[in-house]
Amino acid sequence: MWPTKKWDPRGQFCYVTGGSSGLGLAVAKALTNMGAHVTIVARNEERLTKALAELEELRQNPNQVICSYSYSLTDADSSNAALEVASKDHGGKYPDAVFMCAGAATPGFFVEEDANSMRKGMDNSYWVQAYTALAYTKAIVRDRTSGKLVFISSLLGYMSMLGYSTYSPGKYALRGLAETLRSELILYDCTVHIMFPGNIDTPGYAEENRTKPKVALEVDSSDKPTAPDVLATQLIHGVQRGDFHISPDILSNIFRSSTIGATPHHNVLLDGLYAVVGWIGLPLWRQGVDSKVLKHRNEHDEYLAAKGFFKTVL
């Protein structure tokens, strides 16, 4: 069911969404460096061209097929089309692994969201990966071939706090989808992996901080952003080991073990240690965040009043 031999990306067809920047680009570079055939898909053509040039520089041999395509992945038809086009470069063979790194967060206060921003948040956190997973799974099952689904969730798929009402639900939903598929794809030859990284040092993270509520920024400052290439290495190692949940650092391991439920363990003893640390530490951490939020009440009330939010401004 799970591979016992370490997976080797060399000569494998790897499909990386969000591959033009941030974590996706770092994953594409690491895979290229390991001798894989790499296709990146993203929206921005300019960034794709630049990214493709960076990948070409890392080419290990002349046979590596390295391609880029511009598609929107928050649309189902377009997600299908991207996968079909990418497969054509390989004579109709679908990828050996899909790394679903596309995604974005736009934090804000719940009372300032509307149906449109909530939907858009779900598109950019969940559907941007779920549509690709659906298209890919159907394709490889139909072809009776094997595959790997690699999702990128977030620490915000293990816990949440103020500011993330448009993002955390989608990252939790990805966990729900991955948990379902880990079980269901035992019916075929497809392994499922999902990483839960904290903050990543990318242009997307800088963008996200522009709309992030002040208290969330304050809480966030304790989680220093990790370089995308460090996470890319962790991600690929996790897939190589056959890990289902991939937790790239201690914090992520603590949250993984503290929310493990029926999810497979890595190392039952070490995970037990993480779980005990989480059992004691996480409630204290949460109480700290809660009291920061509580202290922010008056300031927040003034903020909403200044924006004309209340029916009667006090």
Closest by CA position to 9, among listed 239, 246, 212, 176 = 239
Rg (CA), the chain: 20
Residues 163-202 that bind its own copies (CB under 8 A): 163-165, 168-177, 179-181, 183-187
Residue 204 is a binding residue for its own copies (CB under 8 A): no
Output 89 or 179, the one with its CB closest to its own copies.
179
By CB atoms closer than 10 A (0-12, 13-18, 19+), residue 292 is middle
Would you give the binding string for its own copies spanning residues 227-246, x where CB under 8 A is met? --------------------
231 backbone dihedrals φ, ψ, rounded to 5°: -65, -35
Residue type for position 13:
F
Closest by CA position to 295, among listed 220, 203, 204, 214 = 214
Which range binds its own copies by CB under 8 A, 35-43, 228-236, 245-253, 255-263?
255-263
Output 38 or 100, the one with its CB closest to its own copies.
100
CB 249 to its own copies: min, Å:
16
Helix (H) or strand (E) segment spanning residue 77: helix 76-88
Residue 309 is a binding residue for its own copies (CB under 8 A): yes
Residue 157 is a binding residue for its own copies (CB under 8 A): yes
Residue 95 is a binding residue for its own copies (CB under 8 A): no
Q: Specify whether the CB–CB gap between 296 and 278 falls below 8 A.
A: no
* Identified binder of its own copies from the candidate list 50, 209, 263, 277, rule CB under 8 A: 263
User: What is the token pair recorded at 183?
Assistant: 């079980």
Opening angle at CA 215, ends 213 and 218, nearest 5 = 110
Residue 205 is a binding residue for its own copies (CB under 8 A): no
User: What is the token pair recorded at 260?
Assistant: 């493990």
Output 89 or 189, the one with its CB closest to its own copies.
189
Residues 275-304 that bind its own copies (CB under 8 A): 275, 278-279, 282-283, 285-286, 289-290, 293-294, 296-297, 300-301, 304
